[in-house]
């Protein structure tokens, strides 16, 4: 068995140097890239997760900006429990009821928190997820993606470096939201070819990488 519990992220390169057929131990908070998972299956490497019982020295919890309009309010409240389970802090930018409000106001607040660096990532929920995605992408440095299943969530992070996730509170279930959020937060942009393409996206509006 090889102990990699000290690593917060496991990439394909990490797996390639592990002997085939062995077990790799990581924590239940460790992120594993899709390419690393594929390499592990290919080389018959078992990944064993163990719970984190104490905070690692110097380890910082990610801070997620969250927001919703009236159509996404109830799902936003359910999202908080998911973030607690994952071990992320969050800052709630509202709204705080089902009274009608304008989604661009809250999408902008979430996007600005990410662009300015006060939050690491953002999640915004409205009725369909489309309008908030459009609004958030008007903020320089933000790459918002509306996701509706596991595949789109993984792709938006691994290939496009999305830093804001938008969801449709009226189009997906809470169960699907949990699946999407967990995958979105556990997937990272690691491949150089994808980083190069994302840099071109940022250059279109003069936005920096966040």
Q: Is-cis flag, bond preceding 95, omega within 30?
A: yes
Q: Is 194 a catalytic residue?
A: no
pLDDT band at 189 (very low <50, low <70, confident <90, very high): confident
pLDDT tens digits, one per residue of 11-38? 898 899 988 998 888 887 788 888 889 9
* pLDDT above 50: residue 210: no
Record the pTM.
0.70
* pLDDT above 80: residue 59: no
pLDDT tens digits, one per residue of 101-155? 999 999 999 999 999 999 999 999 999 999 999 999 999 999 999 999 999 999 9
What is the percentage of the chain residues whose pLDDT exceeds 90?
A: 61
Q: Where are the domains of the chain?
A: 2-50, 63-186
* pLDDT above 70: residue 207: no
Q: What is the mean pLDDT of residues 86-93?
A: 93
What's residue 190's pLDDT? 67
What's residue 57's pLDDT? 47
pLDDT tens digits, one per residue of 160-182? 899 999 999 999 999 999 999 99
What's residue 3's pLDDT? 80
Domain 63-186 belongs in CATH node 3.40.1400.10: yes
What's residue 6's pLDDT? 76
Catalytic, out of 44, 70, 159, 194? 159
């Amino acid at each position: 068995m090889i102990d990699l519990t000290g690593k917060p992220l496991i990439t394909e390169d990490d797996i390639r140097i592990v002997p085939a057929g062995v077990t790799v131990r990581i924590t239940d908070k460790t992120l594993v890239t899709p390419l690393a998972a594929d390499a592990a299956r290919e080389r018959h490497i078992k990944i064993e997760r163990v719970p984190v019982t104490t905070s690692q020295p110097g380890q910082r919890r990610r801070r997620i900006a969250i927001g919703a309009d009236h159509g996404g309010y109830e799902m936003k409240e359910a999202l908080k429990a998911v973030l607690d389970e994952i071990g992320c802090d969050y800052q709630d930018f509202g709204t705080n009821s089902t009274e009608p409000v304008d989604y661009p106001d809250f999408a902008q607040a979430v996007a600005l928190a990410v662009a300015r660096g006060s939050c690491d990532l953002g999640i915004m929920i409205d009725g369909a997820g489309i309008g908030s995605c459009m609004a958030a992408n008007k903020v320089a440095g933000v790459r918002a993606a509306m996701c509706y299943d596991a595949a789109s969530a993984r792709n938006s992070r691994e290939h496009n470096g999305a830093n804001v996730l938008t969801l449709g509170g009226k189009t997906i279930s809470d169960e699907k939201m949990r699946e999407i959020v967990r995958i979105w937060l556990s997937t990272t942009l690691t491949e150089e070819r994808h980083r190069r393409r994302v840099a071109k996206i940022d250059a279109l509006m003069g936005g920096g990488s966040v």
